[in-house]
Amino acid sequence: MKIAILQFPGTNCEYDTQHAFASLGAETQIVWHKAESLPSDTNLLVIAGGFSYGDYLRSGAIAKFSPVMKAVKEYAYKGGNILGICNGFQVLTEAGLLPGALKRNSGLHFISKHHTLKVENSDNIFLKKLQTGDIVNIPIAHHDGNYFIDEAGLADLKANNQILLRYTDKEGNIKNPNGSVSSIAGVCNKSKNIFGLMPHPERAMELILGSDDGIKMLEGFLTS
Please identify which of the residues 14, 86, 94, 120 carries the catalytic annotation: 86
What residue spans of the chain are helical by DSSP H? Answer: 14-23, 68-77, 87-94, 151-159, 214-219
Please identify which of the residues 33, 115, 142, 200 carries the catalytic annotation: 200
**Residue 14 a catalytic site member:** no
**Residue 142 a catalytic site member:** no
Which residue type is seen at 142?
H
- Concatenated DSSP letters of 3-18: EEEEE-TTB--HHHHH
- Concatenated DSSP letters of 90-108: HHHHHTTSSSSEEE--TTS
CA distance to 23, 45, 213, per residue, from 164 (Å): 24, 18, 15
**Residue 202 a catalytic site member:** yes
Write the DSSP symbol of residue 170. T
Active site residues: 86, 200, 202
